[in-house]
Copies of this chain bind each other. A is one copy, B any other.
């Protein structure tokens, strides 16, 4: 059994600012630091650190992607399914003020350049019984799910961030959904719903009868006929 995480790789640019820049204004940041992030990368790093051999598939920019590849290979994740494109890596522009508050501007970059041919090329090396881990920060997510399902892979989806792209996916093909309360409510179209009600609604989904719970940090793993599992997620 192999684990493939087809997910985002982001550079987080953190700028120290006096205040968040406003319309018409030009301000300077005295300090900027770069970190590796993205829900995809974070989950691969977590898996690798937990001792799982993980294959990360995704895309980075050829000029700025070296740091992302290094972060993964440093923890032992396989990076041979990561493409380099002549564009920016996905990134986040994070302004951090003196009080420690922040605001975030995301740009998908190479993460949003993942095409159908590349997806097929990667998935042909994986098969029935292999795990396909996904989040919602790369392009053609719906196609990845369809292809993985066709190959008999066991699909695990953290549908975050939840947006219209998630509702284009055939979630029936997903074996495990990794959610927190807010995402569970969004998926169910049940905003302002309490935890108990969410669990009730989630357990009504076929295959989920015995498997819904919220972990300490709100994590919920909803498996089809799976054991009940709770835990925390990193991003």
A-side interface residues toward B, CB under 8 Å? 15, 17, 20-29, 32, 34, 63-64, 66, 88, 93, 95, 97, 101-109, 161
- Contact across chains for B32 and A101 when beta carbons are under 8 A apart: no
User: Which residue in chain B gives the minimum CB-CB distance to A22?
Assistant: B103
- Chain B residue numbers with a CB within 8 Å of A66 are 63
- Contact across chains for B95 and A26 when beta carbons are under 8 A apart: no
- Given known A21-B20, A63-B63, A63-B64, contact A104–B15 (CB-CB < 8 A): no
- Contact across chains for A23 and B20 when beta carbons are under 8 A apart: yes
- 30 A-B pairs whose Cβ atoms sit less than 8 Å apart in the complex: A15-B105, A17-B105, A20-B21, A20-B22, A21-B103, A21-B104, A22-B103, A23-B101, A23-B103, A24-B101, A25-B103, A26-B103, A26-B104, A26-B105, A26-B161, A27-B104, A28-B105, A28-B106, A28-B107, A29-B106, A29-B107, A32-B88, A32-B107, A34-B88, A63-B63, A63-B64, A63-B66, A64-B64, A93-B105, A95-B105
User: Which residue in chain B gives the minimum CB-CB distance to A65?
Assistant: B63
- Contact across chains for A29 and B103 when beta carbons are under 8 A apart: no
Complex Cα spacing A21 to B105, Å: 7
- Contact across chains for B105 and A27 when beta carbons are under 8 A apart: yes
Q: Which 8 A-B pairs have the closest CB atoms?
A: A26-B104, A21-B103, A28-B106, A21-B105, A29-B107, A25-B103, A32-B107, A93-B93
A204 to chain B: closest CB distance in Å? 31
- Contact across chains for A26 and B106 when beta carbons are under 8 A apart: yes
- Chain B residue numbers with a CB within 8 Å of A29 are 105-107
- Chain B residue numbers with a CB within 8 Å of A22 are 20, 103
A51 to chain B: closest CB distance in Å? 32
Complex Cα spacing A23 to B99, Å: 11
- Chain B residue numbers with a CB within 8 Å of A104 are 21, 25-27
- Chain B residue numbers with a CB within 8 Å of A28 are 105-108
- Chain B residue numbers with a CB within 8 Å of A32 are 88, 107, 109
